[in-house]
Amino acid sequence: MQKRFGLIGYPLSHSYSPAVFKKLISIAKLDNVTYELFPIESLDELPLLIKKYPDLVGFSVTIPYKKTILNRLTKLSPVATGIGAANTVKIERTGDYFELTGYNTDMHGLKHTLEAHNIQEKSALIFGDGGAAQAVKHALSNKNMDFEVVTRDKAGIHYSKLTPEIISNHKLLINTTPVGMFPNTKDVLPIPESGITHNHTLIDLIYNPAETSFMKMGKKHGAKVINGQLMLEKQAEKALEIWLK
C-alpha cells in the first residue's frame, strides 16, 4: 500500500526535510513510501490537501504553523499539549472523515543535541517565541535550566533592552527565529555581541546554511557554535516512528 508523508509550511525553499526523510526511508527499506513538500500559504488549505492525497498518512509542520496548527487538530499528545506546539501530525481516516493527532518531536531532537554536545550551562537566552521556542523551553525546563526569552514584542526581554551584561550572564544562547535562514543568509539578530565570550555556547536551530550569521557571530568571539542539523535528523526519526505505528 502506498504511503505518502510530507511537510507543510510557507515558504519551504530552505527545507532539507525531503533529503533527511528519503535517507531514513531508504535505510529502513520502506517500499512505496514517499515524502514531499506541501507549501501552503494558509492552514485553510489543509483540508483540501488531505482530501487530494488519500494516501497521505502524516506530515511535518514548520514555520509559521507550529502553534496555529493546534486548533486544526482532533487530538494532541501529552508532550505537544505541555509544549503548546506541534511539528508532527498523524492522519487517521475513516472513509471521507479524518482525525488529526499532533505530536512534538522538536523536543526529542533538541534533547539529543544538548546531550551530544554535553551542554551543562546554568541559564539560557532564547531568541524568538514561536513554535520551536516552545519546545526549547520545555527541553530546558526538563534539564532544570533557567532561561529568558528575547522577542520583538511584549513577551520577555525586548531586543532594544538587551545589554552585553545580559548576554554575558547567560552562557547558552539559542536562536529559534528564521533570521539568517536561506535565502536571507546575511540577516543578523540585533544582539550586543560584545557580551559573547569563549565561555558561551550558541545553538541555532537553522540548518540551512550550515553556518549561520548567528554562528559566525559566536565564532568571532571564540564561542562554541552548533547548528540545527542533528535536531532535524532526530526529530525526523521520531516522526517516522509515529507515522509507521
Report pTM.
Answer: 0.93
Mean pLDDT (whole number) for 189-193:
96
- Check pLDDT > 90 for residue 153: no
Grid cell, residue 148, equals 529568558
pLDDT of residue 61: 98
Answer whether the bond into residue 183 is a cis peptide, omega within 30°: yes
Work out the percent of the chain whose per-residue pLDDT is above 90.
Answer: 96
* Of 174, 167, 199, 189, nearest in space to 113 by CA: 174
Domains and CATH numbers, the chain: 3-104+232-243 (3.40.50.10860), 107-231 (3.40.50.720)
Model confidence at 155, in pLDDT bands (50, 70, 90)? Answer: confident
Mean pLDDT (whole number) for 113-120:
96
pLDDT of residue 213: 98
pLDDT of residue 195: 97
Measured distance CA(195)–CA(191) in Å, rounded: 9
For 50-74, the pLDDT digits (tens) are 999 999 999 999 999 999 999 999 9
- Check pLDDT > 80 for residue 14: yes
Grid cell, residue 48, equals 483540501
pLDDT of residue 150: 97
Mean pLDDT (whole number) for 210-235:
98
Model confidence at 88, in pLDDT bands (50, 70, 90)? Answer: very high
Type of residue numbered 187: D
Type of residue numbered 144: N
Average pLDDT value for the chain? 96
Residue 29's beta-bridge partner residues?
A: none
For 171-186, the pLDDT digits (tens) are 999 999 999 999 999 9
- Check pLDDT > 90 for residue 1: no
Answer whether the bond into residue 78 is a cis peptide, omega within 30°: no
Dump strand ranges (E) for 62-160.
75-76, 88-94, 97-103, 123-127, 146-151, 157-158
pLDDT of residue 154: 73
Q: Which residues are catalytic?
A: 66
- Check pLDDT > 80 for residue 117: yes
Look-up of cell digits 472523515: 97
3-state secondary structure of 218: helix
Measured distance CA(39)–CA(54) in Å, rounded: 18
Grid cell, residue 240, equals 517516522
pLDDT of residue 130: 94
